[in-house]
Structure 1
Amino acid sequence: MSGVASQVVLHPVTSQSLKLLGTTTGRDKTYRAVQYLARFLAWFLLTRGYKDQSVRWNALKSHLALGRKMMRLGKPLENLQAALRAIQSYGKGETGEQITTIARQLSYFGYLSYDTLVWANAIKFITLKPETAQKVNKTANRFWLAGILLNITHGLLKAGRLANEAKKLRSGPAWSEKDVGAEADLELKYRSLEVARAATRHQFVIDVLDVWLPATSLGLVNINEGVLGIFGLVTSIMGFRSQWIAVNGKK
């Protein structure tokens, strides 16, 4: 039994998981996946008439949401820094991409700043009137929606640019045997472009699914909790996978 336990505890996957969970982003992605799974299960059980079991999962969803808000304290400053860096480098890249980057970071700064007030009010650290709390939450969701829409726009612009660059590389002049080094360099650039295109498509899918979360909260669309839970779970798993690769360096 001890041998089996040792194999599980000391298994490379266990070590990689602990390494991932040792990062704030890794924990956030994990909590987010459980949060949206709980959101789906709460809806599923409620629609099947299991109210008591639904309450349990709904409570888990709510507490994880509050915990994630606390973990994001100070995060708005990161977005503000990113916006300022983008402003300082303005003119050194594609104008459309730079503008959407700046606007997106400012939107997320606004979203997370207002979200901090939502959290502080929820834990009774500050007391907001019900109508004020509702306005703050609505404003946070507006900034969140704006940030995702800007990210989608940014992704479309970047995808178009990368596609054009890849096309130019592939349609370039044929290389002779004397230009083996140049051909290898060309192939390396093309592979780098393909990696960037894949990452852009990956983020685009996440944004297209996540955009319905704030849109529903604002009443712009009417999507049930079950579908939103699935959307959130899928994008959480996608984000978790990306973070796993970033931390452990392997798929």
Structure 2
Amino acid sequence: MATAASQVILHPLVSQGLKYGSTTLGRDKLYRTVQYFARFFAWYLLNKGDKIDAARWSALKSHLGTARKCKPIEHLQAALRATLTTGPALEQILTIGRQLAYFGYLSYDTLIWANAIKFISLNPETAKRVGKTSNRLWFAGIVFNLVNGVLKTVRLKHEAKRLRAGKSRGEKDVGEETQRETRLSAIKSAQAATRRQFTIDILDVWLPATGSGIVNLSEGTLGIFGLITSILGMQAQWKAVNGK
């Protein structure tokens, strides 16, 4: 019995899970996954007429949403770092715009959180206006990232094509060939990361679009979209932490 327990407790997968859970981003991705599953499941139960269980899952969703509040200053720092990097000017501008939009979004979201825990008191009309502004800034940040993703995809495609063209001409320099293969490998990884982020953004954009009144998707649809992007985010963070 002790040997079996040791095999379970000391299993590499358990160790990897603990390592993943020890990171702030890892825990946030896990909480987000549960939050959006709860959002979908509450909608599903409510549509079945099970109001009591739906209320439980809705409360879980709200609690996790409150607990997950992030610090806006991190995005302000990221915007400043982006101004110091080199690269295509338009992509740099869009990156800065995204980070500033997220800074504004989370700043307003902090007011919503403070109101939810009764630290400050906003009248219902003001709280609604703050919530809509927060969602509009979130929406703007995602749109900036979507446009940036398109530009980056086109740039990487052209760069990969140029490198392959050099290879097809039969250039014999071993050093140049090694550098070309290394760069092509890096471009391939960057293309995969860009596609993944674009998929996340194209699904996530409907969350603030609905919150700001641009569209009106159901709680079930938003829950599914959020669940998918949360799982994709968890996978990326798991790979970053555990290397596979």
Q: TM-score per shorter chain, which class?
A: over 0.9
> Does the aligned pair in 2 maintain the 1:36–1:229 contact within 8 Å?
yes
2:145 corresponds to which of 151, 154, 164: 151
**Structure 2 counterpart of 1:20:** 20
> Does the aligned pair in 2 maintain the 1:175–1:183 contact within 8 Å?
no
d(CA) in 2 for partners of 1:240, 1:38: 17
d(CA) in 2 for partners of 1:85, 1:108: 15
What is the CA deviation profile of residues 61-108 of structure 1, one whole-angstrom value per residue up to 9, with x for unaligned ones?
010101101xx1xx211111111222234xx32111011011111000
d(CA) in 1 for partners of 2:243, 2:91: 28
1:201 to 2:227 alignment = no
1:82 to 2:82 alignment = no
SS of 2:173 mapped into structure 1? helix
1:243 to 2:244 alignment = no
Structure 1 length as normaliser, TM-score? Answer: 0.93
Counterpart residue type for residue 47 of structure 2: T
**Structure 2 counterpart of 1:30:** 30
d(CA) in 2 for partners of 1:117, 1:2: 51
Superposition misfits of 4+ residues, deviation over 4 angstroms: none
Identity %: 62
> Does the aligned pair in 2 maintain the 1:148–1:211 contact within 8 Å?
yes
**Structure 2 counterpart of 1:2:** 2
1:175 to 2:167 alignment = no
> Does the aligned pair in 1 maintain the 2:146–2:202 contact within 8 Å?
yes
1:234 to 2:192 alignment = no
**Structure 1 counterpart of 2:111:** 117
Counterpart residue type for residue 77 of structure 2: Q
RMSD: 1.2
1:61 to 2:61 alignment = yes
Q: Give the 5 Å matches for 1:90-169.
A: 92-169=86-163
Structure 2 length as normaliser, TM-score? Answer: 0.96
SS of 1:171 mapped into structure 2? helix
> Does the aligned pair in 2 maintain the 1:33–1:236 contact within 8 Å?
yes
**Structure 2 counterpart of 1:44:** 44
Which consecutive unaligned segments of at least 5 residues does structure 2 have? none
> Does the aligned pair in 2 maintain the 1:166–1:190 contact within 8 Å?
yes
d(CA) in 1 for partners of 2:156, 2:146: 15
Counterpart residue type for residue 145 of structure 1: F
What is the CA deviation profile of residues 140-172 of structure 1, one whole-angstrom value per residue up to 9, with x for unaligned ones?
111100000001011111111111100100111
Counterpart residue type for residue 50 of structure 2: Y
Which consecutive unaligned segments of at least 5 residues does structure 1 have? none
Segment drifting more, 184-193 vs 237-246: 184-193
Counterpart residue type for residue 153 of structure 1: V
> Does the aligned pair in 2 maintain the 1:142–1:218 contact within 8 Å?
yes
Counterpart residue type for residue 179 of structure 2: D
